[in-house]
């Protein structure tokens, strides 16, 4: 496929070196840019760098951000539209200024147009290229939705970069830091944590985790519930939708005021009832305590997963507006006893990292930025097992390959089922796609060598190639690794793998033992006539007894007994294998020793060729 470079109208050579860094946030958005050695944040008409992600369609007009934040119309504005990208962002749930039903995608498009116009006004030139930040746990569907909205606004997205990665990139370059850092990113709609290693020119993400439904919006909801219950004795869920929205937006304003002063009085209206109440930081912390504890738990789980000791970490970098909440830093110090780096602006650092990365993408740099894939990728092998080829938290882009072989004698085709997930069996993981490699030379099981290569690019697109090493015949497939995968499901996949790890491993061992045993029994059956010809009656009796015992053990789920009886049968055939070699049959076949000594009984056997059905799965190539 040829790639055609399309030049934007009215663009010039200088435009290509301009690349915006856009932090499209749930609560606030920030734009910044680096031009040569100068860096600047884009200001709105009010001279603000922090632009609330608010859109108001009213009386055939559109208003954005700070144009409406202090206006009464604030309570009628569209907010937190970014959260809808984890759901159905094409669903028309809003109305524009003309009363036409529009989707979250179209609302976001209008907001991107507003940001683009602000940038062009600040820079006094056309702007097309940008790098946009997204939560680390955003799936391919959500990421593609953000890209589509930006494209519809006339922007060319050079790269999507994870928010904590962007923050660490900016922090590492600006502060010239080295070592392992933990980025705690608590924004308006999502919570992300990433462990990064910063060294000379290399910014490597070691691992990432998070919760797609934990952020400032959730704090606002909990605080609103707490206020109406304490002061009005009302169940928040009993209120109508309009009243709920007003209360949540009001609680957001109260939360932000608490950043500046710890106690104040405020009038609150609920169902036409107005009361003057006391707002204080102690009550707010109490209302959101469980969610803060959840962020600490996720952080601890990530450190345990990658087996990194606390004393190996230089410290925590706090990112996102919600990380300003004082009790967060207190909880981190209490649980991790580590340094907190608060010498960066948590609202601006993400955009800055995106702008720096965008500048380097277009103008070249010695710095290398390595991100990771959030879930493992692999294929199904015999017995319905998943063989992981690219593991979770592998740096991307990544290329990995493994060698597999056939399971049946004379097998001429293999079906490859591409999987994503952390469980041991394919039925518990997510199917991404499948394809068939045909025209394999019909040979004994274990002889063909099929190389499977997984190539995962920086945008999360997976390319899978399967190649028969003898004939060169190959087939390939490209898939989006996270398309239509709900963010909650992504987290559940990881949690499920941890909860079921012991049972999954035992199930895998049982399946592998049974596959090994059945394959051995098939080979014994295929040389039954030669056993009768070359072995004594006593040897034949022993082999038959061992075969019967192995068949019985396969009916159980005791992998130790199955493996022991495979070994017993293997030893009972050693004499036969030696006689076969001494007999020196006319057709010699170099046979892969897939199952230890037992494979020798087929080393010089003349196989009858037979056509096998196409839907026989692959078997992992055994180590020699």
Ramachandran angles phi, psi of 28, nearest 5°: -130, 155
More confident residue, 493 or 92: 92
Q: Is the pLDDT of residue 617 over 60?
A: no
Q: Domain map of the chain by residue range?
A: 14-216+288-371, 217-287, 502-611
Alpha-carbon gap, residue 603 to 599, rounded angstroms: 7
What is the pLDDT at residue 108? 94
Share of the chain above pLDDT 90, in %: 17
pLDDT in tens, 41-55: 999 999 999 999 999
Tally of CB atoms within 10 A around 100: 11
State mean pLDDT over 379-395.
81
With respect to CATH, is domain 502-611 assigned 1.20.1270.10?
yes
User: Which pair of tokens denotes residue 439?
Assistant: 């025209």
Torsion of CA 332, 336, 338, 339, to 10 degrees: -20
Q: Is the pLDDT of residue 130 over 90?
A: yes
Angle formed by the axes of helices 559-572 and 574-583, to 10°? 40
Alpha-carbon gap, residue 605 to 526, rounded angstroms: 10
Q: How confident is the model at residue 120 (pLDDT cuts 50, 70, 90)?
A: very high
Q: Is the pLDDT of residue 461 over 90?
A: no
14-216+288-371 fold: Nucleotidyltransferase; domain 5 (3.30.420)
For residue 83, give the nearest of 130, 135, 31, 133 by alpha carbon. 135
pLDDT in tens, 583-608: 644 334 343 333 333 332 222 222 22
User: Which pair of tokens denotes residue 416?
Assistant: 């490859």
Share of the chain above pLDDT 70, in %: 83
State mean pLDDT over 292-298.
93
Alpha-carbon gap, residue 468 to 449, rounded angstroms: 6
pLDDT in tens, 537-548: 888 888 888 888
What is the pLDDT at residue 415? 84
With respect to CATH, is domain 217-287 assigned 3.40.50.300?
no
Helix ranges, 432-527 (H): 487-499, 501-526
pLDDT in tens, 230-251: 988 888 888 888 888 888 888 9
State mean pLDDT over 357-380.
80
For residue 447, give the nearest of 413, 483, 415, 407 by alpha carbon. 407
């Amino acid at each position: 496929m040829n790639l055609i470079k399309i030049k934007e109208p009215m663009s010039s050579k200088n435009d290509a070196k301009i690349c915006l860094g856009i932090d499209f946030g749930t609560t606030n958005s920030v734009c910044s840019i680096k031009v040569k050695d100068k860096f600047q944040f884009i200001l709105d008409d009010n001279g603000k760098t922090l632009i609330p992600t608010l859109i108001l369609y009213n009386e055939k007009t559109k208003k954005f951000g700070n144009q409406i934040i202090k206006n009464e119309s604030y309570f009628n504005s569209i907010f937190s539209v970014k959260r809808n990208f984890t759901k159905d962002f094409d669903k028309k749930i809003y109305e524009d200024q003309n009363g036409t039903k529009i989707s979250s995608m179209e609302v976001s498009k209008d907001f991107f147009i507003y940001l683009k116009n602000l940038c062009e006004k600040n820079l006094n030139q056309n702007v097309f290229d940008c790098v946009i930040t997204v939560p680390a746990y955003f799936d391919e569907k959500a990421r593609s939705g953000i890209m589509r909205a930006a494209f519809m606004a006339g922007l060319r997205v050079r790269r999507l970069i994870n928010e904590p990665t962007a923050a660490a990139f900016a922090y590492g370059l600006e502060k010239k830091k080295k070592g392992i850092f933990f980025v705690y990113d608590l924004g308006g709609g999502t919570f992300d944590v990433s462990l990064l290693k910063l060294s000379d020119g290399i910014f490597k993400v070691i691992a990432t985790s998070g919760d797609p439904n934990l952020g400032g919006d959730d704090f606002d909801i909990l605080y609103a519930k707490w206020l109406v219950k304490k002061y009005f004795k009302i169940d928040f869920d009993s209120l109508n939708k309009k009243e709920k929205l007003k209360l949540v937006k009001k609680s957001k304003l109260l939360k932000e005021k608490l950043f500046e002063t710890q106690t104040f009085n405020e009038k609150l209206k609920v169902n036409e009832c107005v009361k003057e109440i006391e707002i204080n930081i102690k009550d707010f912390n109490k209302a959101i305590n469980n969610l803060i504890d959840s962020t600490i738990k996720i952080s601890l789980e990530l450190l345990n997963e990658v087996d990194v000791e606390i004393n190996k970490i230089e410290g925590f970098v706090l990112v996102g507006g919600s990380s300003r909440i004082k009790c967060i830093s207190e909880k981190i110090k209490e649980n991790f006893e580590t340094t907190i780096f608060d010498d960066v602006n948590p609202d601006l650092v993400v955009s800055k990292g995106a702008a720096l990365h965008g500048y380097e993408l277009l103008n070249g740099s010695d710095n290398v930025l390595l991100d990771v894939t959030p879930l493992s990728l692999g294929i199904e092998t015999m017995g319905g097992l998943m063989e992981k080829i690219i593991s979770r938290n592998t740096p991307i882009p990544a290329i990995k390959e493994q060698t597999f072989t056939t399971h049946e004698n004379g097998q001429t085709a293999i079906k490859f089922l591409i999987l994503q997930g952390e469980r041991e069996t394919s039925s518990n993981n997510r199917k991404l796609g499948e394809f068939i490699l045909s025209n394999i030379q019909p040979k004994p099981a274990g002889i063909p060598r099929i190389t499977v290569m997984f190539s995962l690019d920086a945008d999360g697109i997976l390319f899978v190639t399967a190649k028969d090493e003898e004939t060169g015949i190959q087939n390939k497939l490209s898939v989006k690794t996270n398309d239509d995968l709900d963010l909650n499901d992504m987290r559940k996949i990881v949690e499920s793998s941890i909860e079921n790890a012991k049972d999954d491993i035992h199930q895998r061992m049982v399946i592998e033992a049974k596959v090994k045993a059945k394959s051995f029994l098939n080979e014994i059956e295929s040389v039954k006539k030669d056993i009768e010809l070359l072995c004594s009656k006593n040897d034949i009796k022993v082999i038959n007894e061992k075969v019967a015992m192995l068949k019985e053990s396969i009916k159980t789920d005791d992998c130790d007994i199955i493996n022991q009886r495979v070994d017993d049968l293997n030893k009972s055939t050693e004499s036969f294998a030696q006689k076969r070699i001494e007999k020196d049959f006319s057709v010699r076949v170099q046979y892969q020793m897939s199952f230890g000594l037992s494979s020798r009984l087929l080393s010089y056997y003349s196989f009858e060729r037979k056509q096998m059905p196409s839907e026989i799965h692959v078997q992992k190539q055994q180590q020699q």
